[in-house]
Amino acid sequence: MKYKLLALDMDGTLLNDLHEITPETEYWIRKAAAAGVHVCLSTGRSYDEAIPYGDQLNLGTPMITVNGSEIWKSPHELHRRILLERPLIARLYEISREKQVWFWANSVEGSFNEGSWLPELLERNHWLKFGYFTEDDAARMAILQELEEMDSFQITNSSPHNLEINPKGISKASGIQTVCELLGLQMSEVVAIGDSLNDLAAIEAAGLGVAMGNAQELVKEKADLVTATNNEDGIAWIIRDYVLTEE
């Protein structure tokens, strides 16, 4: 087979709008795994939010969580973790208060948001990712501009209304590269499938970059091809027609 690693985003890709893996998609993922394809969850979700789906699929291959800030050698064995420095987290929090926008943050110790934040968390926790959500385009663009000027972050999104901030240079693409090193594979042997800007670097770097039918327009433009939506088993089609083939 030409492609030996299947890197799957979760929300809007692996999961339908009910946050479920459909039986058809699960069937084809299990068929690919049985044929020797490495199936890797590649998600912006935290480990705790992702691992139940890896267990559902009975995956034993590496997993990428928090947009690449964590790489798992197997679903229950951590390989690498990259943290955001605490002074940067402090500034990200200050910006959320200045702009009055909802925020959330992922740490090794758990996930927190505007409703559960406590001042002592800043120095106590080890931070992986910070995010903002606002439907106010002007506020979001102002935050984006300030973050870009700081030149300390990898900035993406998982929906048109949010911003996701990881350490500079850390992305799903860097995570997949690490997974390839662990498995002895090349990026040309990877199929990366996703729907949002946090998937874009991986889609561009992979041997076959696939956008879901429900993907953001920029992701569709940059992808090698566009499949069906997350509610129409878009992953199943790719596995059937592009992965489990001899050419």
* Active-site annotation, residues: 9
- What's 162's DSSP letter? E
Sheet holding 110-113, edge to edge: 110-113, 102-107, 127-133, 162-167, 153-156
> What gap in Å lies between CA 158 and CA 34, rounded to an integer?
30
Half-sphere exposure (CA, 13 Å, Cβ side) for 116? 7
**Do residues 36 and 151 make contact, with C-beta atoms less than 8 angstroms apart?**
no
**Do residues 172 and 206 make contact, with C-beta atoms less than 8 angstroms apart?**
no
> What gap in Å lies between CA 215 and CA 4, rounded to an integer?
24
- Long-range pairs for 120-124: beta carbons < 8 A, 24 or more residues apart: 122/86, 122/89, 122/90, 122/93, 123/86
Half-sphere exposure (CA, 13 Å, Cβ side) for 130? 32
